[in-house]
Structure 1
Amino acid sequence: MGAIESKRPGDAAGQDGVVREVAVEELGQFCEGQAVIANDIAGATGSILISRGTSLMSVASSIAGLQKQLRNANVRSVRLLLPSGGSRDEVESLVRGIKPGIAPIDAELAHQTVNQVEDVLGRIQSGNCTPENVQDLADRGRVLAKQIAKAPQLMFCLGHVRDWDEYTSVHSLNVSLLSSFLADRMFPDRPEFAEFMAIGGILHDLGKAKVPHEVLNKPAKLTDAEFAVMKQHPTLGVQLAVESGVTDERTLTVIRGHHERYGGGGYPDSLDKKDLPIEARIAAVADVFDALTAKRVYKDPMPGRNAIELMTGAMAAHFDPAVMRVLLLAVGIYPAGTLVELSDGSVGAVIGTTGTDVVHPQVALRYDRFGKPVTDKTVVQTGSESGVLVVRSLQTNDKIGF
């Protein structure tokens, strides 16, 4: 072996691509793709034989000579940087080209909702919020419910607002979308239930407007006294909602119960599964999933698949298994839109799962194993039949949405 470090194929995923170890004899196969040299390769005397960042396509005409030089320098393999799938817009175009029915929540509606939540919270803090302000926000939830009911892929509706604000207003929108989605999938014959879950999601953190800013956005762990203050926000939220004319018990249950736990020990009422309403069970799952996968002042976002693993593992006792099953089927281990590397070395975007198999998604190819763009609409069903499996996600946070 020469000057480069030996690694197993596919050991690393670079920020701008997939790093793969390739035998010198196989370099010619990558000359038609977008592969580049991942690091400087030096000969025995220390002179650079080929520089980092060199495109193999640019040396295609002299690849035989390069291979000979590398072999003479006792270099047996080279690390190549292959493309990881493209920009968000490119992936969006790829997935929608194959599944045109997939659509996000209307961007303008999402913007207006986030701004409206922010406005209502600000009005509460300043003492000039009217019942009409809160009722208008509740009406927004009804509109969201109608859109989410049409969404075949949940994760295409979440996450796009991650480019905006990362605080309560965005969280309220996503909890509304997720709560309504779960309610619609669990009770498809009860559209009014999904509607009130959307309204409850929009209003669920209303009480945080009464929590001091230094507690709400503290970057360190809360003290016992500060946590006691934070735990008041569900009851404060119900109080504010009732004062603003919100009377529906389902909506109020979401606001009061979204921090209750299926196994008991939550707040404010420490209910358990015997007494915990379905509205609170759904809201609790939606609230925690979005909180885990969101960026906060005190933490980085967690990939959606990691959040699912945590919620079905160490935190499993906190959630209704029936609600978690619906979330798992909706999100999958690799949510729609996630860029993944496959076991044959190709790269593509997940477009969904088939039936209840969340482990083996369908993947629309973006680049083949040699880094060459796939120009047709090639879809691979991963799994035992095709012999192709997902190796890894190429994103640190796969809650991307479009």
Structure 2
Amino acid sequence: MEERTQGTETKIRRDIPLEELSNFCSGVAEVADDIIGESGGILLPRGTPLSSLASSIDRVEAKLRRSNIRAIPVVLPGTSDLQNLEDYLKAADPAVMPLEPELARQTVSQVEDVFSRIKEGECTTEDVQNLAEQGRTLARRISGAPQLMFCLGQVRNWDEYTSVHSLNVALLSSFLAERLFPGRTELAEFMAIGGILHDLGKARVPLEVLNKPGKLTDGEFAVMKRHPELGEELAVSNGITDRRSLEVIRGHHERYNGGGYPDNLNGTAISNEARIAAVADVFDALTAKRVYKNPMPSREAMSVMTGAMSAHFDPDVMRVLLLSVGIYPSGSLVELSDGSVGTVVGAYGKDLVRPKVAITLDRFGNRLTEKKLIDLSEERELFVKRSLRSDDKDKLAF
């Protein structure tokens, strides 16, 4: 089976042996190419739905065999229905959706409001304190949730970059802290607060610098590099006094091998909080859509962070992120060993190559009327055959 791009749409292509053709006549498969007979005539036009052949499949097979055709190339088209998948997962496995969409949207709106008020000089201590409390609420809601990565994938589809990024860094920082330091609930909460506020200083950065599509000049980068210090000043002046949250705000751009800012620290001279936040910040930045770049799939982001950028990050924090993302990140479209297709909804760290998968197409290309959630760690006869391209998931995953 291979992927095939037609215009802007990518489909899954398979070669179906004639003896199995009848099994696909109730599904959504279409003939991929014109099927030409020995005399040069078209036996089956490209785009013919196999379902239209159901009543005459015996005659069709016989005609194809007479032309020495033993297999038919087909494509499996599909449509996106994200809400349908979310609704299904809430009922099938509530742990997959640890964050209520309304809470996420409320947080994003609150971040936007505080940034706007800072720019207008109208921000009050109460505004910042309320936002910090929202961070604490987030940490409590996601405590122990194994499927945070699926949640992040859905929030990341929203349009508002800075505010959604703040939410995601809060969620991921808190999640990683809890995994690294089990039982230290208070740390996870203060990491979430720091994550929500980590880019507070960007409210003081001119928009033409913040959203510039091209490379920043040295002068513009110098302005941008001030945002951690400005954020810390704003947080302290508005009543944020806990060291752990302030470490996140000031230190999230420090690099484990040095060369970061604002203090050019390295190794263990950087606080645990800042090392965790640095990983969360870069992972979400790579996988987010910006005015100047397209989003990078989680799997590719992990390759970059464990490859060319590996020296920037604490290896212990990266190890936890890898276990959380898994070999097949949440939201990935995969083909299983039996030919069925589904969406990865979570990896649990106990077996990175055997995640949970929501099956949407069976092995014969039939779209399931009731999705099937499979935990591959418990289905030893099944395994992920391959991960499909990220742009397939918009067409087939849900």
* TM-score of the pair, normalised by structure 2: 0.89
State the one-letter code of the partner of 1:119: D
1:301 aligns with 2:289: no
Equivalent in the alignment of 1:352: 346
Cα shift at 1:156 = 2.7
Counterpart pick for 1:12 among 4, 8, 17: 4
Cα shift at 1:158 = 0.8
Counterpart pick for 1:89 among 83, 92, 98: 83
1:371 aligns with 2:371: no
Q: Distance in 2 between matches of 1:35 and 1:398?
A: 17
Q: Distance in 1 between matches of 2:373 and 2:166?
A: 37
Counterpart pick for 2:212 among 205, 210, 218: 218
Q: Distance in 2 between matches of 1:85 and 1:387?
A: 25
State the one-letter code of the partner of 1:79: P
State the one-letter code of the partner of 1:64: D
Contact 1:363 1:381 in 2 (8 A): yes
Cα shift at 1:224 = 1.8
1:266-285 to 2 correspondence within 5 Å? 266-285=260-279
Structure 1 residues 39-48 or 102-111, which shifts more?
39-48
> Which digits, 9 at most, give the CA deviation of each residue in 1:138-185, with x for residues without a partner?
111111111111422111321323343232111001101111111112
Q: Distance in 1 between matches of 2:338 and 2:18?
A: 18
Counterpart pick for 2:384 among 385, 389, 393: 389
Contact 1:360 1:381 in 2 (8 A): yes
1:280-359 to 2 correspondence within 5 Å? 280-353=274-347, 355-359=349-353
Counterpart pick for 2:356 among 362, 385, 390: 362
State the one-letter code of the partner of 1:309: S
CA, structure 1 residues 129+86, in 2 after alignment: closer, same or farther (shift >3 Å)? closer
Counterpart pick for 1:103 among 92, 97, 101: 97
CA, structure 1 residues 255+122, in 2 after alignment: closer, same or farther (shift >3 Å)? same
1:3-402 to 2 correspondence within 5 Å? 9-12=1-4, 15=9, 17-43=11-37, 47-73=41-67, 75-83=69-77, 87-353=81-347, 355-374=349-368, 375=370, 377=372, 379=374, 381=376, 385-386=380-381, 388-396=383-391
CA, structure 1 residues 218+13, in 2 after alignment: closer, same or farther (shift >3 Å)? same
Contact 2:96 2:346 in 1 (8 A): no
Contact 2:135 2:189 in 1 (8 A): yes
Cα shift at 1:271 = 0.6
SS at match of 1:19: strand
Residues paired across the two proteins, number: 393
State the one-letter code of the partner of 1:136: N
State the one-letter code of the partner of 1:126: E
Q: Distance in 2 between matches of 1:256 and 1:311?
A: 21
Segments of 5+ residues of structure 2 without an aligned counterpart are none
Cα shift at 1:300 = 0.6
* TM-score of the pair, normalised by structure 1: 0.89
CA, structure 1 residues 326+260, in 2 after alignment: closer, same or farther (shift >3 Å)? same
State the one-letter code of the partner of 2:252: H
Cα shift at 1:60 = 1.2
Structure 1 residues 14-23 or 364-373, which shifts more?
14-23
Segments of 5+ residues of structure 1 without an aligned counterpart are 1-8
Give RMSD over aligned pairs: 2.8
CA, structure 1 residues 289+22, in 2 after alignment: closer, same or farther (shift >3 Å)? same
Runs of 4+ more than 6 Å apart: none
